Amino acid sequence: MQKKIYRKSKSIKTIAWILGALASLFIGYQVYTYFRGNFFTPSGETVYIYIHEHATFDDVVKQIEKKTKPRSMASFIALAKSEGYPNKIRTGRYAIKNGMTNHKLLNNLRKHVQAPVKLTFNNIRTKAQLAGRLSKQLMADSLTLLSLLNDSVTDVKLGFNPETVVAMFIPNTYDVLWDITPVQLLKRMHHEYESFWTDERKQKAKKAHFSPVEVATLASIIEEETNHKADKPIVAGLYMNRLRLGMPLQSCPTIKFALNDFALQRITGVHLRVNSPYNTYKNPGLPPGPIRIPSIESIDAVLNFKPNNYLYMCAKETLNGEHYFAATWAEHKRNADRYAAMMNKRGIH
């Protein structure tokens, strides 16, 4: 009888030991997934999840599962719930690095530790295009951004108006938070604008009798006129000659802007009759504001313009972005006739 009791007791101890070992393994695995790598990304690259307003915990979990290969999603969910995260979800763009732990990811999500985006914008003609380009890179929607850009009260606070506010945007690459608000974004762009306009640039603008906005306005016209870097300072000098003499700028790109038709290949008399403050054939001086967001290269071309005696310019018939420049109407007429002949030959009306 005692042997049976002994064997039974030994069996119970063995079973208890096995169960204890299994429990230890389970607990150990849970600890491992909590504190060691739990999220593994395809090819080992960093991936990003985007949490919008009104996103639920399930939305967050689905994104993580879609973009990573977790050892145990259940362990992350359990930890998140234990720390109350489902009720405190914050918007943002969050990085998940290969081998990231539950605690590290959850800590970033809870404390709003985001991975900034590289915000870029260039080759922008209108505020609508700008709002669209920005909204593709940020959480903010384009209509809200456009409405703010068109808001005169907001613009005036920043030192601009709805016609000149695009001059505040200096094309470059900026690190910004994905969920930055439209108001915060404008303040950030204003800060970058102030940093760009150094004392040296301001002095050059003043010497040319321009304000920074006027520099941007002329630079926008020059950028539409030519994509040839060497021509830009020459074009700037030509337009300054016209402004000094009180001659209309007579810039075809301003007509395209006034008509909101940037596909026009040939400007004719019909187009020149458009009633718009941007029609530089009718109105002397600079238009009310930039006709595009000029590049830094074009802005600096105005600030470092090349003095000359030119009053006229005409695109070369090669259409390679270069121009003929002339000091007299007769010389310009010969250049223009060559260009017109080429356009006629190509059937461009």
- What's residue 25's pLDDT? 46
Domain ranges of the chain: 31-111, 117-196, 208-345
Right CATH for 31-111 from 1.10.8, 3.30.160, 3.30.1490, 1.10.3210: 3.30.1490
**215-243 residue pLDDT tens:** 999 999 999 999 899 999 999 999 999 99
Query: 3-class DSSP state for residue 265?
Result: coil
Reported as a single tens digit per residue, the pLDDT across 44-103 is 999 999 999 999 999 999 999 999 999 999 999 999 999 999 999 999 999 999 999 999
DSSP 3-state of 123: coil
Grouping H, G, I as helix, E, B as strand and the rest as coil, residue 342 is helix
Q: Is pLDDT larger for residue 90 or for residue 12?
A: 90
DSSP secondary structure letter of residue 120? E
pLDDT at 6: 55
pLDDT of residue 30: 52
Digit-coded pLDDT (tens) for 143-173:
999 999 999 999 999 999 999 999 999 999 9
CA dihedral 176, 181, 183, 184 (to 10 degrees): -30
> How many percent of the chain have pLDDT more than 90?
77
Contacts of 69 (CB under 8 A, 6+ apart): 39, 40, 41, 42
Q: Is the pLDDT of residue 198 over 70?
A: yes
Per-residue pLDDT averaged across 124-128, rounded?
Answer: 96
Q: Has residue 14 got a pLDDT over 90?
A: no
Query: In the predicted model, what is the mean pLDDT of residues 106-128?
Result: 97
Question: 255-302, pLDDT tens digit by residue?
Answer: 999 999 998 888 888 999 999 999 999 999 999 999 999 999 999 999
**1, pLDDT greater than 80:** no
Residue at 334: amino acid letter? R
For the chain, counts of helices (H) and of strands (E): 15, 8
Say whether pLDDT at 312 is over 70: yes
pLDDT at 21 over 80: no
- What element of type H or E holds 50? strand 47-51
pLDDT of residue 332: 87
pLDDT at 343: 76
Confidence of residue 244 (pLDDT cuts 50, 70, 90): very high
Long-range contacts of 162-166 (CB under 8 A, 24+ apart): 162/127, 163/288, 163/289, 164/213, 164/216, 164/217, 164/288, 164/289, 164/290, 165/127, 165/289, 166/124, 166/127, 166/130, 166/289, 166/290, 166/292, 166/293
Query: Is the pLDDT confidence value at 4 over 60?
Result: no
- Does pLDDT of 328 surpass 60? yes
